Amino acid sequence: MSSASSRGLRAARTVWVLSLCVAFNLLISNRDSAGADDSRSSPPASPLSATIPAKKADPPQDIEDRFRRLEAVVSKQAEQIRQLSEENRKLAGQIRGRSAASSDPRVTPAQTDAASTPPLPSPAALGVPADDSAAPPAEPAFTVPLESQSAVRGLDDTPSPYSSLLDAGNDAIPELEPSELARPYLTGFYDKGFVLVAPNDKQLTPFALKLNVTTQLRYTGFSRSVDTWTDSSGLVQPIFNRSYFALNRQWFSFSGFAFSPRLQFNATVFTTSTTNVTVFQGFITYSFSQAFALSSGYFKVPGTREWIESARYTLGAERTMANTFFRPSISPGVWATGEPLEGFFYYAGIFNDFNSTSNGANRVSDNMTYSGNIWWEPLGKFGPGYTDEEYHDRLAIRTGSSLTYQRAQREPNLQLGQTNPENTILRLSDGTPIFQPGALAPGVTLLEANVALFSYDLAFKYRGFSLSTEYYGRWIYGLKATGGAVPKAYMNIFDTGGLAQLSYALIPKKFELFARTSGVFGPFGDGSEYGGGANWYAFSNRNVRVTFEAKRINHSSANNLLYGYFAGESGMLYQLQLLTDF
């Protein structure tokens, strides 16, 4: 215990002894004054009475009253002692907090001196209640310098808007109650995740670790309306009916901070039975301020809004067909995020690849991908995803845009893209892989091309109602090929598309119906989908959701086994899904 705290305890004991002494002095003085009053008020003794022995006088009637007053005085002193003990506890907490601040290299000596320990309050006069307003205000036993409060994302135990971009977990930092400060770490409780380690002082013991587990269990059924389709190279591809159960996605996400609340990490294990693949991904983030945080790792290239939104928060069972066709993939890179103005956010970086078959160390291309996304929430917090699970009493709006560019290069092995089941490859609007031999013309194989993708999104939420749209435009130009010349008509390929989604909560925060559609339009053909379904939120939150969706697909432009899309297919797709997010 600190010297200031010890002095406070000694002062409390001194006050207790003085209180007892004062109480006994009052008792003695009251007795003496009572005796003097009796002698002064009695009549003079007669000679006869002086010679007769006096009988023993009965105790005065007011002795009991005097003892009651004495008990009241002692009780008041005990209450004052209790108040002084409480002040001692508060002062000890302040001293611990200021010791932590003084050990932080970001705190200047002037700041430490200015926060010197205040003196112990003097005890109140005997019998006068203590004035609580004179006591110093209570402070938490651990403190983070004020400049860190605005610099560290998630410090106030509230997930930031960037948590909705994570497929599992969040960036909220667990907080402890003052009663939990007896140990340097607390473990084994739930706070927006399973808290494995949480410090009671983020400066003295700056380490935290939290586990989130997200699971998608899904049934997929597909009933074909055609038996085959022919791609742009002339290959005839079969189309099959499908019916299967799958552990479609499961994430084990570990997040927290180390050495400083600013230095945050995320390590995620992602597995799926759809392709029997397990992938490790994650990143490290250093939060310089609310306006700028720098990250590096393996994460999503921010090319479209529906793509960077977490797979936990899709309106239906899965992302739309148009988004799956246009969007980039997951790639190693370096990126920055922040909120430079209230309600205005950005996510931009440099990544290995846009949407190709290989983005690891074995890639043959040395061209990088440059991508950025901005969005604005002008009327307040929009919330994650597309459904109005928050049930906004006031209109909420989110609008944003993305821009992505890369000089794409053909990789020798077109199947390497399947190493991460989330990834897709560049395709023509009919679903043919753009680097496939003969895709642009017989005998012609594309080697390189510039790819530029633009997207714009707009969404609304109000009292259980939601409407969201997104437009896509992709320009492929500067083609370099082998085996012959690229036809002039295909030297500049421009594909467009978009999505529209609508939902309404029949039972707020519990049950909603939705409808949605998306399409891809280009020189090699068009693809579209439309349908709808229902969401049931078992506990009136997003943590447990059951989704049923049925939609008609007309010549799918996209291909991704995890999503249920197969290039060229036409028919009815049914998906029933249970999602849990702990």
Distances (CA, A) of 319 to 2, 133, 529, 546, 579: 58, 58, 12, 16, 14
Residue 155 belongs to some domain of the structure: no
| The pLDDT of residue 97 is above 90 | no
| The pLDDT of residue 106 is above 80 | no
Q: What is the pLDDT of residue 11?
A: 53
Q: What is the pLDDT of residue 34?
A: 45
Residue 47 belongs to some domain of the structure: no
**End-to-end Cα distance, the chain:** 40
- With bands split at pLDDT 50, 70 and 90, how would you rate the model's confidence at 332? very high
- With bands split at pLDDT 50, 70 and 90, how would you rate the model's confidence at 152? low
Answer yes or no: are the C-beta atoms of 166 and 266 closer than 8 Å: yes
| The pLDDT of residue 71 is above 50 | yes
How far apart, in whole angstroms, are the C-alpha atoms of residue 164 and residue 178? Answer: 30
- With bands split at pLDDT 50, 70 and 90, how would you rate the model's confidence at 43? very low
Q: Which of 115, 134, 153 is the last residue of a domain?
A: 134
Residue 45 belongs to some domain of the structure: no
Q: What is the pLDDT of residue 502?
A: 98
- With bands split at pLDDT 50, 70 and 90, how would you rate the model's confidence at 366? confident
- With bands split at pLDDT 50, 70 and 90, how would you rate the model's confidence at 363? confident
- With bands split at pLDDT 50, 70 and 90, how would you rate the model's confidence at 362? confident
Q: What is the pLDDT of residue 418?
A: 54
Structural domains in the chain (count): 2
Q: What is the pLDDT of residue 66?
A: 72
| The pLDDT of residue 9 is above 50 | no
- With bands split at pLDDT 50, 70 and 90, how would you rate the model's confidence at 39? very low
One domain for residues 128 and 209: no
| The pLDDT of residue 550 is above 60 | yes
| The pLDDT of residue 259 is above 50 | yes
* Mean pLDDT, residues 151-156 taken together: 61
- With bands split at pLDDT 50, 70 and 90, how would you rate the model's confidence at 359? low
Number of H helices, E strands in the chain: 7, 21
Q: Which of 119, 134, 149 is the last residue of a domain?
A: 134
Q: What is the pLDDT of residue 153?
A: 62
- With bands split at pLDDT 50, 70 and 90, how would you rate the model's confidence at 393? very high
Domain hosting 22: range is 3-38+62-134
Residue 556 belongs to some domain of the structure: yes
Q: Which of 292, 294, 252, 296 is nearest to 271 (CA)?
A: 252
One domain for residues 125 and 195: no
Written in H, E and C, the secondary structure of 86-117 is HHHHHHHHHHHHHHHHHHCCCCCHHHHHHCCC
Distances (CA, A) of 200 to 103, 183, 197, 222, 536: 16, 7, 10, 53, 38
**Can you tell me whether residue 164 is helix, strand or coil?**
helix
Q: What is the pLDDT of residue 347?
A: 98
Residue 349 belongs to some domain of the structure: yes
One domain for residues 128 and 275: no
Q: What is the pLDDT of residue 172?
A: 73
| The pLDDT of residue 369 is above 60 | yes
* Mean pLDDT, residues 564-579 taken together: 97
- pTM of the predicted protein model: 0.73
One domain for residues 465 and 574: yes
One domain for residues 430 and 291: yes
| The pLDDT of residue 258 is above 60 | yes
* Mean pLDDT, residues 241-260 taken together: 96
One domain for residues 129 and 253: no
Q: What is the mean pLDDT of the chain?
A: 81
Instruction: Considering only residues 86 and 281, tell me which one the structure prediction assigns the higher pLDDT.
Output: 281
Q: What is the pLDDT of residue 492?
A: 95
Q: What is the pLDDT of residue 111?
A: 41
**Can you tell me whether residue 497 is helix, strand or coil?**
strand
One domain for residues 202 and 127: no
Q: What is the pLDDT of residue 415?
A: 55
Q: What is the pLDDT of residue 87?
A: 76
Query: Which residues fall within 8 angstroms of residue 416, CB to CB, at 6 or more apart?
Result: 357, 358, 362
Q: Which of 134, 150, 175 is the last residue of a domain?
A: 134
One domain for residues 288 and 436: yes
How far apart, in whole angstroms, are the C-alpha atoms of residue 503 and residue 519? Answer: 19
| The pLDDT of residue 17 is above 70 | no
Residue 264 belongs to some domain of the structure: yes
Both tokens of 219, joined, read 């049934």
One domain for residues 422 and 543: yes
Residue 370 belongs to some domain of the structure: yes
| The pLDDT of residue 179 is above 90 | no
| The pLDDT of residue 299 is above 80 | yes
Q: What is the pLDDT of residue 454?
A: 98
> Considering only 360-364, 392-396, 425-429, 445-449, which range has the smallest mean pLDDT?
360-364
Answer yes or no: are the C-beta atoms of 313 and 321 closer than 8 Å: no
Q: Which of 475, 362, 482 is nearest to 417 (CA)?
A: 362
Q: What is the pLDDT of residue 92?
A: 64
Instruction: Considering only residues 205 and 232, tell me which one the structure prediction assigns the higher pLDDT.
Output: 232
Both tokens of 528, joined, read 């579209």
pLDDT tens across 113-128, in order? 333 334 333 333 333 3
Distances (CA, A) of 477 to 359, 369, 401, 452, 489: 21, 16, 22, 9, 11
Written in H, E and C, the secondary structure of 39-85 is HHHCCCCCHHHHHCCCCCCCCCCCHHHHHHHHHHHHHHHHHHHHHHH
* Mean pLDDT, residues 307-326 taken together: 97
| The pLDDT of residue 203 is above 80 | no
CATH for 364: 2.40.160.10
One domain for residues 246 and 130: no
Answer yes or no: are the C-beta atoms of 196 and 174 closer than 8 Å: no
pLDDT tens across 422-449, in order? 988 999 999 999 999 999 999 999 999 9
Answer yes or no: are the C-beta atoms of 373 and 349 closer than 8 Å: no
How far apart, in whole angstroms, are the C-alpha atoms of residue 369 and residue 403? Answer: 11
Residue 227 belongs to some domain of the structure: yes
One domain for residues 294 and 412: yes
Q: What is the pLDDT of residue 80?
A: 75
One domain for residues 267 and 194: yes
Answer yes or no: are the C-beta atoms of 277 and 421 closer than 8 Å: yes
Percentage of the chain lying above the pLDDT 90 cut: 60
* Mean pLDDT, residues 521-530 taken together: 97
Output the furthest CA–CA distance in the chain (Å, rounded). Answer: 151
